[in-house]
Amino acid sequence: MEGPSLFLAKEQLIPLRKKVVLSVSGNTTIDKGRFEGQLVKDIFSWGKHLLFQFDGFALKVHFLLFGTFSAVVEGKSVTGDYNKPRVPRLAFTFENGHVEMYNCSCKSSNTLD
């Protein structure tokens, strides 16, 4: 995914802003428990990164060379057809949808609000 695709992804995921992460899954090595129960303050893109801003920290997802994501927001699929059976690197579930990220690098960092 490149910058323009990530800008579109950010726009498609906007309804997940101000929502609480209900569950977290995936095969990432970062602490997934850090995200569960947290409110997503904002979602934005920067180059090949998709960022999820939480209270006091952020998640930076870099989609590498072949990274993709799949999402359902408010009952509608907002991405292409990624129905291949595979384990996401990181997945969030919200009351109004879910997002799954594949073939990507996930890093959590503390931020200043």
The whole-number pLDDT of residue 109 equals 87
Whole-number Å distance between alpha carbons of 18 and 84: 30
Structural domain boundaries, residue 64: 3-110
The whole-number pLDDT of residue 85 equals 61
Whole-number Å distance between alpha carbons of 5 and 29: 26
Contact 109, 60 (CB under 8 A): yes
Q: Structurally, how many domains does the chain consist of?
A: 1
CATH at residue 74: 3.20.190.10
Taking only the tens place, the pLDDT of each residue in 69-113 is 889 999 998 875 555 668 899 999 999 999 999 999 999 988 654
Paired tokens of 66: 């072949």
The whole-number pLDDT of residue 48 equals 84
Average pLDDT value for residue range 32-60:
94
